[in-house]
Amino acid sequence: MSNPLYEHIKRDPRYTELVQRRGRFAATLALLTALSGCSTSSGGAAAKAKVYLDEAFSNTETFSRVFPSTTASTCEAARRALMSQGYLLGSADRADSVTGRKSFQPQPEVHVQIEFHIVCVPEVRAASLSASDAAANAGDPDDRPSTIAFVSAVQDRYSLRKSSSSASLGVSAIGSVSLPLSSNDDSLVKVASETIPAGEFYDRFFQLVDRYLEVP
């Protein structure tokens, strides 16, 4: 059984216009939602793909340097270079690797930490000499030991986050009275981590290692 009042409202032109507006609004909202989802997914895919596309594994990167010295001497020079710049060294369990860490505070609520990782390995010659050739070239400078130092540095960025907490204290002697006690807990939260790109940063470090290798 139809409602006469409802039938009267349906015949009103304003009711028809309202229904049409609602339909157009719903269609527009659906279109915007779809476009937003597409842009978000495409942007995320592009950002994810960019990480892999930039990783060219090129032999022109300067994350390594060859030094005319033994593995132990090269790593010792790298160790001294880091200590001279205020880096805290990790445990020296291996003679062919060095780790160091240094903290910075560029802004009052921003902390940055740089961690060095250095690995020293002997340089492999293209072809080994025979016993007779080795004896003949014993004084040749090209026959001296050389070491490749592989270096990478990671920069971690921390932000100071403040959080407040409250507690209540019940005093039974005077009844159910609660006193609010509040405290602020500050903590450092890691917000970014990045390997420092090859460039002048590593060039300056390699130059300092060279200086310590020249010290008798």
pLDDT in tens, 141-164: 566 789 999 999 999 999 988 776
Do residues 37 and 68 share a domain? no
96 located within any domain = yes
- Structure-model confidence comparison of residues 83 and 142, the more confident one: 83
- Structure-model confidence comparison of residues 96 and 34, the more confident one: 96
pLDDT in tens, 162-194: 776 555 555 555 555 555 555 566 788 999 999
73 located within any domain = yes
130 located within any domain = no
* pLDDT exceeds cutoff 80 at 75: yes
Do residues 150 and 87 share a domain? yes
105 located within any domain = yes
Per-residue pLDDT band at 54 (split at 50, 70, 90): confident
* pLDDT exceeds cutoff 50 at 129: no
pLDDT of residue 37: 60
**Helices (H) and strands (E) in the chain — how many of each?**
5, 6
Average pLDDT of every residue of the chain: 76
Do residues 42 and 97 share a domain? no
Do residues 97 and 34 share a domain? no
| CATH number of the domain to which 95 belongs | 3.30.310.80
Structural domain count, the chain: 2
* pLDDT exceeds cutoff 60 at 104: yes
* pLDDT exceeds cutoff 80 at 71: yes
Do residues 42 and 76 share a domain? no
Give the chain's radius of gyration (CA, Å). 34
22 located within any domain = yes
Instruction: Tell me which DSSP letter residue 55 carries.
Output: -
Do residues 79 and 34 share a domain? no
* pLDDT exceeds cutoff 60 at 4: yes
HSE-up (13 A, CA, CB side) for residue 27: 6
Do residues 151 and 204 share a domain? yes
Do residues 90 and 14 share a domain? no
3-state secondary structure of 39: helix
Do residues 100 and 153 share a domain? yes
pLDDT in tens, 42-53: 555 555 556 667
pLDDT of residue 92: 76
Cα 210 to Cα 79: distance, rounded to the nearest angstrom: 12
169 located within any domain = no
3-state secondary structure of 190: strand
Cα 198 to Cα 54: distance, rounded to the nearest angstrom: 13
- Residues of the domain holding 85: 64-123+144-164+185-214
pTM over 0.75: no
Share of the chain above pLDDT 90, in %: 41
156 located within any domain = yes
Question: What average pLDDT does range 12-35 have in this prediction?
Answer: 65
128 located within any domain = no
Per-residue pLDDT band at 98 (split at 50, 70, 90): very high
115 near 104, Cβ under 8 Å?
no
